[in-house]
Amino acid sequence: MSSSLSSVPGVAAIHGNTTFSFVKPDAFDKKDQIVADLNACGITVLLGKETTFTVELAKEFYKEHEGKPFYASLVTYITSGPVYVMVLHVKDAVAKVREVIGATDPKKANPNTIRGKYGQEMSRNAIHGSDSDASAEREISLLFSKDELSKV
């Protein structure tokens, strides 16, 4: 896997306008509707694939939460079923995608956002969106191979 997207052809040119997101296990059966919602807001899926987090990958992905009370249940949950991982493209990608996704707590999310429509509760909130360009780069490199990224 790539440790730096800046070395991947095609990706460096769209950095800042690219981010990472994935449909979580609780909303996996709604992935087509979620992708349609993203597209309707002008967000393009550059790469997308179905996968399942291994325990090792989940621990690496959520390593900043290690030691927190919810960490073990988060790892168990995220490995409980398939997910749909995506590299997304839109101007000011992180901010735009997070706006379309909505508040982390679906009960507080605008009903027109993805979490407002498909989220159940804080721990089952349908979708993840990177919180910064640096996080997006790290998360993309964990879920997509250099070969996959070179096709962007």
Amino acid 152: pLDDT = 77
Rounded CA-CA distance 118/84 in Å is 15
Rounded CA-CA distance 86/22 in Å is 6
Q: Do 82 and 51 form a contact (C-beta atoms < 8 A)?
A: yes
Catalytic residue flag (residue 128):
yes
Instruction: Give the phi and the psi of residue 118 in degrees, each rounded to 5.
Output: -115, -15
Tens digit of each residue's pLDDT (9 = 90 or more) over 134-151:
999 999 999 999 999 887
Amino acid 45: pLDDT = 96
Q: Is the pLDDT of residue 62 over 50?
A: yes
Mean pLDDT of 110-127: 95
Tens digit of each residue's pLDDT (9 = 90 or more) over 5-59:
555 544 544 567 999 999 999 999 999 999 999 999 999 999 999 999 999 999 9
Neighbours of 68 (CB within 10 A): 10
Tens digit of each residue's pLDDT (9 = 90 or more) over 65-86:
999 999 999 999 999 999 999 9
The domain segmentation of the chain, as residue ranges, is: 5-149
Tens digit of each residue's pLDDT (9 = 90 or more) over 106-118:
999 999 999 999 9
* Structure token digits, residue 96: 């735009």
Amino acid 15: pLDDT = 62
Active-site entry in 15, 65, 89, 128: 128
Q: What global pTM score does this model have?
A: 0.90
Q: Among 3.30.565.10, 1.10.3210.10, 3.40.190.80, 3.30.70.141, what is the CATH number of 5-149?
A: 3.30.70.141
